[in-house]
Structure 1
Amino acid sequence: MLKYGTDKIGQTDSNRFSFSVKKPPKRDEKDVTAKIIGDFGKWQFKISILMAVLKFPIAWYQLNIIFMAPPQDFWCQKPAVFKKYTEREWRKICCPRVEEHPCLIFDPDLLILDPNMDKTLIPLVPCPKFIYDTSVFKRTITSDWNLVCTKHWLTHVCQGVMMWGIVLGGIIFGVWADKYGRQFPLMMGIIIQAVASFIASVIPWYWLFLCNWFILALASGGIGIISFVISMEVVSGKWRTIIPVIYQLPFGLGNAVMASLAYWFRDWRKLEFALASLSSIYIIYWLWVPESPRWLLATGQTEKASEILKEIARQNGRDLTLREIRQLIREHEVQREPDPGFMAFLRSKNMRVKTLLLSMNWFCTGLAFYAFAQYLGSIGGNIFMAVALTGVISTLGGFTCIFVITRYGRKTTVGLYQLVTSICFVLILMIPRSKYSNDWPRLLFAGIGFAGMAGTIPALYLFSGELFPTLGRNVGVSGVTTFARVASMVAPAIVTLDSFLTDLPLIILTFISFAQMLMLLPLPETKGSPLPDTLEQAEQF
C-alpha cells in the first residue's frame, strides 16, 4: 500500500503525552526536508496546485456516467402499417397504460385489425426496436447500445466497472509508486487515462468499451492515490492539515466544468472526446513535477534527493549548498521501525472498535456520495443545472471546512457536515417535484447536501489519520478509506431501486446519513491532543 515519506498528519505537541506505556526514543520533530526547503514555499504552492488540479479529470471520469446514461425517454418504433397515426397516437394505442417505458407492446399484427378493440384480448410481444427522445441528449450509451428493459442493468455495470478499477488502480499504482517512485507511475497514469478516454469516445462495441473503461479506471485510481501522496509529501507543519482539504476542492468544480461541456455537446462521444483532450494536457506535468525527495531519501538515493532539494530550496529563496544539504541528510538519518499492519489494529481491543467504526463511517460516506451523485438527474428538471450547481456549492463546502475544522475540532466537524447533508436529504424528500421553476428548491438543497459531503470527506480523512498511531498511520487510513470505494460499487444498485419507488434511493441515503452520525459518538475528539506514536499509545487514546 502506498506510503508517503512522513508519519504525521497534522500537528502534535510531544510534551503533552501522558501515556503510561514506554515511549519510543525522542526524535527531532522537524524532518530533514522541512529543514532544507521549509514547511511551505513557492515550490510547495506550485506542486500543491498541480496535484489538486488533477482532481478535475478524476471527477470527470468518476461521475460522467451522469451524462453518459442520463434518464432518457424511449418508446417502440412505429411499424410501417401504422404510418397514418402520429407518434403520440401510436404510443397511446400500442403501450400498456401501466408502464411509463413499456418493453412490451400489444401485438401489432392484431392491433392493426382494430386499434380500439379490447386490449385484454391482445397478447403482449417484445418491442423489436426502440426510439429515443433526443430533445435533451442527442446520443447516450443507452441509445447507442439499447441499454433498456432487460439490458438496463448494463448501465450500472459501467459505473461498477469504473469503481472496481479505481480501487484496484489505487492498489496497483500504489505498490508501483512505492517501488519505482512517484513521478513515473503518475505520468503513466496520466497518459493511460488520456489515451483510454480517446478510445472510449470512438469504440463501437459495449463489451470492448467496458474493458477499455476498466483500464481508464485503473489509471484514474492510480492518479488519485499518487497525487494525494505527493501533495502530502511536499508540505510540513500546519500545512498537512490545510493541504488535504484544498486538494479536494477542484472535484466539485470538475463536475461544474463537465456539466457545461455536456450542455454544449449533448452527445456522450463528443463529451468523452472533449474530456480526453483536456486530460491530455496534463502530460506537460513531466516537465513540472520532479521525483519526490522524501521517496528518494526513504529509498537511500541521497545524491538525487540532494540535487532536487537544492533546486527546491533555491526556488523557495533558501540559500543552501549541496554540501550543507548532504550534511543535514546525514545528521537526520534514522532507522524506521516497521509498521504494525492493518490486522494489528483489529487485534487490539480499543483500536478494533475505532477501526470498525471508521470503516463503517467511510462506507456510509462513500455510499451517500456516489449514490447521490448518480441520483442527481432525478432531483430537478434540468440535469445540467443540477450537476453544475451542486458542484459549485460543494466547493464552497470544502472551503468552509478549513475554518470549521481548525476551530471546532475533527469529530465535531465531521458530525456537523453529516448533519447538514442529512437535513438536506429530508428537505428534498419533503419538497414536491415540479412545483417550482426548474425545481430550484430541490436543486438548492441538493447543492448544500453535496457541500456537506464535500466538508465531511477531508475532515474524516484528517480525523481518521489522527486516531491511528504514527507507526501504521498510512496503512490504517488506507485500510478504512477502502470501504468508501467498496461502497461506490454498491451505489449503482441503490440507484436502481428508484424503479420500485421514485424516491427510495434518497430515503435509504437519508437513514444511512443519520446512522453514520451515531457511529461518531464512541470516538474521541483529537483536536488539541497529542497524536500517539505506537499502537500501545493509540490503544489508550
Structure 2
Amino acid sequence: MLKYGTDKSSQADSEIFSFFSETPPNFVDEPDVTSKIIGDFGKWQLRISILMAVLKLPIAWYQLNIIFMAPPQDFWCKKPTAFGKYTEKEWRKMCCPRVEEYPCLIFEPDLLLLDPSMDKTMIPLVPCPKFIYDKRVFKRTITSDWNLVCDRHWLVHLCQGVMMWGIVLGGIIFGIWADKRGRQFPLMVGIVIQAVTSYIASVIPWYWLFLCNWFILALASGGIGVISFVISMEVVSGKWRTIVPVIYQLPFGLGSAVMAILAYYFRDWRKLEFALATLSSLYIFYWLWVPESPRWLLATGQTEKAAATLKDIARQNGDDWSLRDIRQIIRDHDVMREPDPGFMSFLRSKNMRVKTFLLSMNWFCTGLAFYAFAQYLGSIGRNIFMAVSVTGIISTLGGLTCIVVITRYGRKTTVAVYVLVTSICFVLILITPRGKYSNDWPRLLFAGIGFGGIAGTIPALYLFSGELFPTLGRNVGVSGVTTFARIASMVAPVIVSLDGYLSDLPLMILAFITFAQLLLLIPLPETKGAPLPDTLEQAEHF
C-alpha cells in the first residue's frame, strides 16, 4: 500500500487518464513486473497504443452517425392528383394551416378542392396520407425510409436512446467478460459483431428489426470502448500512463470528421452505413496484431503464458530476456492486493458523500452536454457536413490543450475554465441569428469551440475525480461517478426531442445546465500538489 504523501512520480502516473472511457485505470501502485521486462514504452507499446486509439474511429461513427441517419429534412404532404392544375408551391401554400411548422395535418382535400379560396376555418383538418421529402441534400434518411415525422418523430430519438443503452450494457457485459476471459478474444468478438451488424443495418428494410440490430451493434461498440481503453492502459507504465490515455481519445473527434466526409460523398444513410461497415471490418486483422494482455495473464495466475508473451514483447522492443529470468522476476513480485471497498462506503462517510454527489452531478452535466450537443449539431448551421467535421477537429485540439492547461493550473480550475468556455459558446450560438452570415460561420465557430470545451472538460474531470477518491477504492469510486455520464447519454435524446416545441430549446437547456455545473464545482477542494489519499479515512479529511 502507498504511504500518505506519495512521491511525485507515482502521482504523475495517475494524472490525465481517459476521456469518455467506460472503465477507469488501475490506480493502485503495485510493483510493476511488466515494466521491468518490457520497459515503460517501446516499439511494441507504440504499436499497440496506436491500434487501440484507432478503434475510437468506429466508436465515434456509431455513437454519432444518427446525425446523418436522421438529419434535419424538410417535408410536405403529397399533392393529390385532383390538384394537378396547381403548382407544388401553390399546393403547399393552400393545404397547410399557417400555424403548423410541418404539414402533419392538412385541410380536407375534398372540401378544399370545391373552393380553394373559401374561409379555411370552416374546413376540418385531417392527417396527411403521404409525405414528400426534400432530397436536395440527402437522398435517403431513416426519416424518409420509415416516415419518422409528426407523431412518429420520437422514433428517431428512440434510435439514439437504444444506442446509448446498448453502449452502457455492452461496457458492463464485455468488461466482466474481459476480466474473466482475457482482453483479446472479447475484443475480437466485439469487432466482428460491430462490422456484421453494421452491414445488416445498411440493408434491413423494417424499422423495429433495425432497432434490434442497432442495439446489438451498440453492445459491441460499448464493449470495444471498454476493452481498448483497458489495453491502452495496461501496455504502458510510468509517465506514459499520463500521456497515452489522453492520446487514445483523440481519434474520436477525427472519427466524426471522417464520417462527415463520407456522408457528404454518399448522401444516403444506407450507403454511409455500408461504407462504415466496410471500414470497421478491417479491424478483424487485430487478431493477428494484438496479443493477450500480459498484465491480465499475470493477474489471473497464468505465469507461463505471461512469461512467453513478455519474452516476445521484449524481443520486439530490442531486449533479450531468457524465460528463466522472466519467471524469476514474476516470482519475486508475487504480491497480494487488498480488496477495494464498495461504492456505498463513500456514501456512508459525511465528507466523501458530499464529494461523491457533486462529482456525480458534474459527470451528469458533462455527459448530457456532450451527447445532446452532438445530436443537436445538425441544426447549428446550413452546412451540416462542415458543422460536424469542424467540431470534430476542434474537439481533438481541445483534448490536446487539456494536457498543457492541467499541468500548469489546478484540476478544479481547469474543469471550471473549460465548462465556462462551453457555456459561453452555447449562449453565443443562441444569440447569433441564423442565416445572416455565409454558411452561418459564426454559429459554426462557436459550436466548434464549445465542443472543444467539452473535450477539454472530460480528461480534466477524470483526473480531478480520481484524485479525490482514495487509492483503496479509487477504481470503484471513479466508475461510480462516471456512470452518471452514461445515464446522461440516455437522457440526451429526450432533450434533443424538445426542438419540436421550440427549435433552440435544447440549447437553452444545455446552456443553463453547464452554467449550473460551475456552482457544483465550488464546494470541491483543489487537488493539484496535494498528496493522494490512500484510505477512506484520509480521503474523508481531505
Shorter chain as normaliser: what TM range? over 0.9
State how far apart, in whole Å, the 2-side matches of 1:369 and 1:298 are: 35
Residue type of the partner of 1:153?
W
CA distance in 1, matches of 2:388, 2:96: 33
1:393–1:447 contact (8 Å) kept in structure 2? yes
Displacement, 1:121?
Answer: 1.2
Q: Would you say 1:244 and 2:227 are equivalent positions?
A: no
- Work out whether 1:203 is the aligned partner of 2:201: no
Q: Report the secondary structure of 2:136's partner residue.
A: coil
The normalised TM-score by structure 2 is: 0.94
Residue aligned with 2:265, SS: helix
Counterpart of 1:84, as a letter, is K
Q: How many angstroms does 1:409 deviate by?
A: 3.1
Equivalent residue number for residue 23 of structure 1: none
Structure 1 residue 527, shift from structure 2 partner? 2.3
Partner residue in 2 for 1:378: 379
- Distance in structure 2 (CA, Å) of the matches to 1:468 and 1:525: 13
Are 2:351 and 1:350 aligned? yes
Paired position in structure 1 for 2:126: 125
Query: 2:21 matched to which residue of 1?
Result: none
Deviations 1:282-330 (A, max 9, x none): 1111111111111111100011111111111122223321111111111
The secondary structure found in structure 2 opposite 1:131 is: strand
Go from structure 1 to structure 2 and tell me whether the alpha carbon gap of 1:81 and 1:361 turns closer, same or farther (over 3 Å shift).
same
For the 8 Å contact 2:76–2:92, the answer to whether it is kept is: yes
Q: Deviations for 1:31-73, whole angstroms, at most 9, x for unmatched residues?
A: 1111111111111111111111111000000010000011111
Q: Which string of whole-angstrom CA distances, capped at 9 and with x for unpartnered residues, describes residues 151-205 of structure 1? A: 0100000000000000000000011001001111111001000000000000000
| 2:76 aligned residue | 75
- Structure 1 distance, partners of 2:438, 2:381, is 9
Runs of 4+, deviation exceeding 4 Å: 8-11, 27-30
Deviations 1:371-397 (A, max 9, x none): 111111111111111001100111111
Contact 2:108 2:124 (8 Å CA) reproduced: yes
The Cα shift of 1:538 comes to 2.0
Q: 2:528 and 2:234 mapped to 1: Cα distance?
A: 22
Alpha-carbon distance change, 61 to 441 in structure 1, aligned in 2, over 3 angstroms: same
Aligned-partner SS, 1:39: coil
Structure 1 equivalent of residue 232 of structure 2 = 231
Give the structure 1 partner of residue 217 of structure 2.
216
Structure 1 contact 10–240 (Cα < 8 Å) conserved: no
TM-score, normalised via structure 1 length: 0.94
**Contact 2:414-2:457 within 8 A present in 1 as well:** yes
Distance 1:535 1:388 in 2: 44
Find the aligned partners of 1:139 and 1:209 in 2 and give their Cα distance.
16
Secondary structure of 1:105's aligned partner: strand
Report the Cα distance in structure 2 between the residues aligned to 1:386 and 1:246, rounded to whole angstroms: 23
Letter in 2 for 1:533: D
Residues 75 and 132, structure 1, Cα contact 8 Å, conserved in 2: yes
2:160 corresponding residue in structure 1: 159
Matched with 2:415 is 414
> Secondary structure of the residue that 1:447 maps to in structure 2?
helix
1:306 matched residue in structure 2: 307
After TM superposition, the structure 1 stretch with the greater mean CA deviation from structure 2, 492-501 or 57-66, is 492-501
1:139 corresponds to which residue? 140
Give the deviation of 1:9 after TM superposition. 13
Deviations 1:425-466 (A, max 9, x none): 111112111110000000001000001111111121222222
What CA deviation, in whole Å up to 9, does each residue of 1:457-478 have, x standing for no partner? 1121222222222222222211
Map 1:275-314 → 2, pairs under 5 A: 275-314=276-315
Task: Indicate the SS of the match to 2:106.
Answer: strand
Q: Distance in 1 between matches of 2:230 and 2:390?
A: 29
Separation in 2 of the partners of 1:469 and 1:288?
Answer: 36
> Over aligned residue pairs, what C-alpha RMSD do you find?
1.6
Q: Is the 8 A contact 1:39 1:235 kept in 2?
A: yes
Alpha-carbon distance in 2 for matches of 1:196, 1:402: 36
Give the Cα separation in 1 of the matches to 2:455 and 2:533.
Answer: 28
1:395 and 1:481 map into 2 onto residues whose CA distance is 21
Query: Counterparts in 2 of 1:426-505, with a 5 A limit?
Result: 426-505=427-506
Pair 195,480 (structure 1): closer, same or farther in 2 beyond 3 Å: same
Q: Tell me, in whole angstroms, the C-alpha distance in 2 between the residues paired with 1:142 and 1:289.
A: 40
Counterpart position of 1:20: none
User: What one-letter code is carried by the residue in structure 2 that aligns with 1:124?
Assistant: L
- How far residue 533 of structure 1 moved from its aligned partner, in angstroms, is 2.1
Distance 1:29 1:161 in 2: 39
| Aligned pair partner of 2:10 in 12, 18, 31 | 12
- CA change 1:411–1:496 in 2 (3 A) is same
Do the aligned residues in 2 keep the contact of 1:72 with 1:133 (CA within 8 Å)?
A: yes
Letter in 1 for 2:370: F
Name the SS of the counterpart of 2:41 in structure 1. Answer: coil
Note if contact 1:9-1:462 (Cα within 8 Å) is conserved in structure 2.
Answer: no
Amino acid at match of 1:469: P
Q: Does 1:322 align with 2:323?
A: yes
Asked whether the 8 Å contact 1:10–1:241 carries over to 2, the reply is: no
Aligned length: 522
Measure how far apart 1:255 and its partner are: 0.5
Matched, 1:259 2:257: no
Q: Secondary structure at the match of 1:75?
A: strand
- Greater Cα shift, 226-235 or 206-215: 226-235
Q: Deviation at 1:411? A: 1.9
CA contact (8 A) 2:10 2:29 kept: no
Give deviations 1:15-35, integer Å, cap 9, x for gaps. Answer: xxxxxxxxxxxx986411111
Which moved further from structure 2: 396-405 or 441-450?
396-405
Distance 1:448 1:280 in 2: 33
| CA distance 1:380–1:9, shift in 2 (3 Å) | farther
Offset of 1:10 from its aligned partner?
Answer: 9.1
Question: CA 1:192/1:29 → structure 2, altered by over 3 Å: closer, same or farther?
Answer: closer
Match of 1:338?
A: 339
User: Which 5+ residue runs of structure 1 have no aligned equivalent?
Assistant: 1-7, 15-26
Q: 1:62 to 1:113 in 2, by over 3 A?
A: same
Contact 2:194 2:280 in 1 (8 A): yes
- Residue 104 of structure 2 corresponds to which residue in structure 1? 103
SS in 2 for 1:125: strand
| 1:356 CA displacement | 1.1
Q: Note the residue ranges of structure 2 that are not aligned, 5 or more in a row.
A: 1-5, 13-27
Query: Are the aligned partners of 1:10 and 1:237 in contact in 2 as well (CA < 8 Å)?
Result: no
Q: Secondary structure at the match of 2:162?
A: helix
| 2: CA distance, partners of 1:262 / 1:343 | 46
Closer, same or farther: CA 343–28 of 1 in aligned 2, 3 Å: closer
CA gap of 1:58–1:234, structure 2 versus 1, over 3 A, is same
Write the letter of the residue equivalent to 2:534: D
Query: Aligned to 1:112, what secondary structure does the other structure show?
Result: helix
Paired amino acid for 2:469? F
